[in-house]
Amino acid sequence: MTAMTGRMTAITRAPALAAAVWSAVYLVLGAAWALGVPGFPWGTGDPDPDGALSLLAGLDPGPDAWWVAAFAALALAVSLTLAATPRPGGRPDGLAGGWGGRVAVGFAWVLAAALVLAIPDSRLMMGVAYTPLLVFSGFFDGPFGQVGLADAWPWPVLNQLLCLLGGLLLARAAVIHRRRARAACAACGRDEEDSGWTSREAAARWGRRAVAVAVATPLVYCLTRWAWVLGIPLGVSREFLEEGARDTPGIWLAGAYLATFGALGGLLTLGLVQRWGEVFPRWIPGLRGRRVPPPLAVVPASFVAIIITVAGLTYLRWTFAGRFSMAEWGAWLPECFWPVWGAALGAAALAYHLRRRPACRRCGRGSAALVTTDVGAG
């Protein structure tokens, strides 16, 4: 029992320790960039031509890299505080207990929000969406044959992915710390049997609504991009289509690809409330009839929810900055609803997790019963 407790304690401390390692790496990088080492991924080190995508486009590696180091130093202090060893009663020792723990949790959420929502931009989603196509780009002629993975994933965009990882580690560490502080199970978060909105029955109900929103929201975007590749100026002028095709050959085909990618994502989202999202269908060789591991659905859905939200926030910044013509609503309005899409997808993933999480091996709370739902039910 002692060995099991020690192993679970190590597991629950892992996110905070990993966040501390991440923070230490960026502390060193920030200091190195400030001292003239190349590789600063923002401002002058960002290849984005006009700096419109990044909130940090105005940074200079000289003085501003020290702010990166200071940010990382704060994240390191917060991470180490959140990693404090818990007492048997569930409350952390020393500074991590009481007000110190609450302050650390508050800072962790602020830092995580900056790393997840403010530093990344729409290029992160573009990189993810185009990667399956660019893997085989060498076999294509035309515009797709002229770009590769290196074009979708330059260092500034890879850095955004690393910042996103750091933010998620800090958020996870904050969640686990709060669980310990209220004497809940650090592994599953339960302090009593599931009830209210976290119960499986309730999650099945509000999860259906979240899935419906997540499936419906991107449809307008998909329709406009499919129309454009067919030469139909839906939401834009014909001059807009002709100018885009002339200046960037293949741009509307790329848009149709993204629309199809989003539509397929919507189809997979239905699996969060369908039986085939819980049990592999019969037509999948080697897996038919087996239960779908919940992380196989929750992890990618949560990741996509984040990058969709970030991309939508980028388009909102562009819109408020006057980058778009109001008359060409098809070019910007559908994307402005992507934060709604991302929030709905994240909620749907959470509902799926709550429905399918088993009894906790550490605290024994919960049950093995599952609620198989249908998006059309209720």
Q: pLDDT of 350-366, one tens digit each?
A: 999 999 988 777 776 76
Summary mean pLDDT of the chain:
86
Q: pLDDT exceeding 70 applies to what percent of the chain?
A: 83
pLDDT tens per residue across span 65-93: 999 999 999 999 999 999 885 554 445 55
For 335, phi then psi, to 5°, come to: -70, -25
Region 250-273: what's the mean pLDDT? Answer: 93
Residue 298 has pLDDT above 90, yes or no: yes
pLDDT tens per residue across span 266-291: 999 999 999 999 999 988 888 888 99
Residue 216 has pLDDT above 70, yes or no: yes
Residue 243 has pLDDT above 60, yes or no: yes
**What pLDDT score was predicted for residue 4?**
45
- pTM score, two decimals? 0.88
pLDDT tens per residue across span 305-357: 999 999 999 999 989 888 888 999 999 999 999 999 999 999 999 999 999 98
**What pLDDT score was predicted for residue 34?**
96
Q: What's the gap between Cα 335 and its chain centre?
A: 17
Measured CA to CA, the distance from residue 178 to residue 183 in angstroms comes to: 9
**What pLDDT score was predicted for residue 322?**
85
Measured CA to CA, the distance from residue 283 to residue 68 in angstroms comes to: 50
C-alpha distances (whole Å) from 251 to each of 72, 142, 276, 315 are 39, 11, 35, 18
Which sequence spans correspond to the domains of the chain?
8-181, 196-356
For residue 12, what pLDDT band results from cuts at 50, 70 and 90?
confident
Candidates 374, 350, 15, 13; CA nearest to 208 is 374
Region 227-244: what's the mean pLDDT? Answer: 95
**What pLDDT score was predicted for residue 194?**
62
